[in-house]
Structure 1
Amino acid sequence: MQKRKESQTSQSLTSTEKTRSHLAWNDFEVILAIATAGSLSGAARALSVSHATVFRRLGDIERRLGVTLFERSRAGYRPTLAGEELADTARIMDEAALAAERKVAGRDLEPSGEIWVTTTDSLLMGLLAPMFTQFRQRYSGIVLDVAVANQMLNLTRREADVAIRPSNRPPENLIGRQLATIGQAVYGHRSLGLTPGASIETLASQPWIGAGPRLQDSVLDQWMGHNELKATSVYRVDTLVSILSAIRSCMGLAALPCYLADEDPDIIQLTDPIPELCYDLWLLVHPDLRGVVRIHALMDFLTEAIRGQRQRLAGRLLGQPHE
């Protein structure tokens, strides 16, 4: 009787061990994240968990499987043969899941819900406001909640779902689309009587409007410093819309995005777009949201609408007619 119980217990343990050795999808997710990032910290960022959590989950997976999945070194984590096989399987599973999600999502006739969007005041006023109106006309079930900020909100912490930002170095943990290049030129009020095409050296004798530190535009700050324009700055402010307002008030000259300043008939473009001040315009989203139907709807809509205005965003050379 005792032997039979021991045999049954042994069989039960064997069955339990086999069950425990099975990998769940989140196990494959951890393996793929480490293989892709090459480090636990990179995998932690991709998974939005702590470094310790990834370390603990990898250790648990390797104990259950009884095999080492990654070689540890100062250079990072390199998959073993077993680790690479599981990572390849995870990639296939991920692609299949996304394909199924897209297929199911495609059945939604009317995407709905809220989208949190973050952008700058200048982009909202000079470019995006009419596009958002057109988007709402097409997708009446989607509510746009727009946060206007100079600083990049944290998409990982869901402070926003989508960011529309000028940047030459977008965050690496986000996925996105480069939509256009934003050109910037020097502008002044028409009443100043300045001649378009004058050199920066000549214009330096005029009062200038600078960017306040909260605007966080180090490129513009460096350019003004290099051209010795800081000493002639009589006014600093921390938003581009406020700089535009100052130009309208004849406060002085300033560099502004062409798409923003060209719309005002009382403000004239004094230089060609300045190469050092050009920015790429990005549409950014957290990887976890790439399969959400309403997010895709907004991204596709804005991609087409903004790329249709690439020439306007880049700015015109002096002597070229306005469109």
Structure 2
Amino acid sequence: MDWDDFRLVRAVGEAGGLTRAAEELGINPSTAFRRLAGIEAALETTLFDRHRAGYAPTAAGLVMMGAAARMAGDVERFTRELAGRDRNPVGDLRITAPASLIADMLMPSLARFSRRYPGIRLHGIVAEEALNLSRRDADVALRASDAPPATLVGRRLATIAWAIYGRSDFAERDRAACPWVVPGESVAGGRFTRFVEARAVADRVVLTLNTVLGLREAVEAGLGIGPLPCWSADDRPDLVRLSGVEAELGAGLWLLAHPDLRQSARVRAFMDFMAEEIAALRPRIEGEATASR
């Protein structure tokens, strides 16, 4: 048996069926069906019970899935350790961050980094969810978090300050009775919806978003008032702060990598560079001033 057999069995078990497993592996479902049948024939055992709802692993299937997971972990660990041994800042570097950070904060810094390190090819992975750096879904992550995973290494660069913003015509109105726009329950564990529910008249939330991206544009368009990160809103001419910094909405801004990659030249170069960049932006990020570069 080869590694691909184990990968197929694990993918089928985790997906609960052939179609999604085949998509994940980049093969045709009929090919997956034939390969799985061949594996079971070679082992002389049934790895999955076929039900109308999907494929359920048998005891033998669970054993093989466990072996596949251990093998995948060894491969991922070897890949990280090998990547961590490079000494020159060249090659591919995958960076993950939420869309709002990449669009509004990172692009000028990435341009400066690219000019300084032309041998590094940057790959931006826009993701609101935290990607798995152990699987090398990305090499470096920029995350807003109160408690980053203990399995990663990095540094807290700043505290992201939030305040209530709106167009100037909302400045003299009772905030509780204003229409509100707010990130939805899926963002930051519902922190923003709880914040607004405690301050707004019932049914005054006119728009929720499942991401921070687009929130500022909604407030600028006059849909209502709402919480915004200070670095994103303070320099917008059509917006005014309607509150001080709201401490309960703040979160740390972390730059993180897997421990096996921290000695990689390109990862180290990026983390050191971004630490300097964020330090220059820190007053703006923490709501103290608008940084100019």
TM score, norm. by length of structure 2 = 0.67
CA distance in 2, matches of 1:119, 1:229: 34
Query: Structure 2: how far apart are the matches of 1:120 and 1:229?
Result: 30
Cα deviation 1:50-103 (Å, max 9, x = unaligned): 5xx99xxxxxxxxxxxxxxxxxxxxxxxxxxxxxxxxxxxxxxxxxx9xxx88x
Which structure has more helix as a fraction of its residues?
Answer: 1
**Distance of aligned partners of 1:176 and 1:138 in 2 relative to their CA distance in 1, 3 Å threshold:** same
| Pairing 1:202-241 to 2, within 5 Å after superposition | 202-228=174-200, 231-241=203-213
109, 121, 128: which one pairs with 1:131? Answer: 109
Q: Secondary structure at the match of 1:222?
A: helix
1:197-248 residue CA offsets vs partner (Å, 9 max, x unmatched): x8xxx31110000213443442222222333466310111122221111111
Question: For residue 171 of structure 2, what is the amino acid of its counterpart?
Answer: L
Q: Partner amino acid for 1:136?
A: S
Q: Does 1:243 align with 2:215?
A: yes
The question of 1:278 aligning with 2:278 is answered no
| Residues 122 and 240, structure 1, Cα contact 8 Å, conserved in 2 | yes
Q: Which of residues 261, 265, 283 in structure 2 aligns to 1:289?
A: 261
Residue pair 2:177, 2:200 contacting (<8 A) in 1 also? no
Runs of 5+ unmatched residues, structure 2? 1-68, 75-80
CA contact (8 A) 2:142 2:256 kept: yes
CA distance in 2, matches of 1:255, 1:284: 26
Cα 1:229–1:242, aligned 2, differ >3 Å: closer, same or farther? farther
Matches within 5 A, 1:21-36: none
* Number of the residue aligned with 1:304: 276
1:264 is matched with 236
Unaligned 5+ residue runs, structure 1? 1-48, 55-96
Deviation readout 1:112-164 (Å, 9 max, x if unpaired): 10111110111112211100000001000111101111111111111111110
Letter in 1 for 2:272: D
In 2: Cα distance, 1:229 partner to 1:312 partner: 31
Counterpart Cα distance in 2 of 1:322 and 1:310: 8
Matched, 1:169 2:147: yes
Report the equivalent of 1:141: 119
Counterpart residue identity of residue 187, structure 1: Y
- Secondary structure at the counterpart of residue 214 of structure 2: helix
Q: Distance in 2 between matches of 1:156 and 1:252?
A: 41
CA distance in 2, matches of 1:287, 1:146: 20
Tell me if structure 2 keeps the 8 A contact 1:224–1:230: no
- Rounded to whole Å, the distance in 1 between the matches of 2:239 and 2:202 is 22
Task: Say yes or no: does 1:114 pair with 2:92.
Answer: yes
C-alpha displacement of 1:165: 0.7
Contact 1:121–1:149 (8 Å) recurs in 2? yes
Q: Is the 8 A contact 1:142 1:294 kept in 2?
A: yes
**Are the aligned partners of 2:133 and 2:257 in contact in 1 as well (CA < 8 Å)?**
yes
SS at match of 2:177: coil
Secondary structure class of the residue paired with 1:204: helix
Higher Rg: 1
- What TM-score results when the alignment is normalised by the length of structure 1? 0.61
Q: Give CA deviations for 1:262-285 in whole Å, capped at 9, x if unaligned.
A: 121111111111011111100010
How high is the sequence identity, in percent, across the aligned residues?
36
Any runs of at least 4 consecutive aligned residues in structure 1 with deviations exceeding 4 A, and if so which?
A: 320-323
* Residue number in structure 2 paired with 1:194: 171
Corresponding residue to 2:128 among 150, 156, 160:
150
Structure 1 residues 285 and 230, CA, compared in 2 at 3 Å: closer, same or farther?
farther
C-alpha change, 1:235 and 1:174, in structure 2 (3 Å) is same
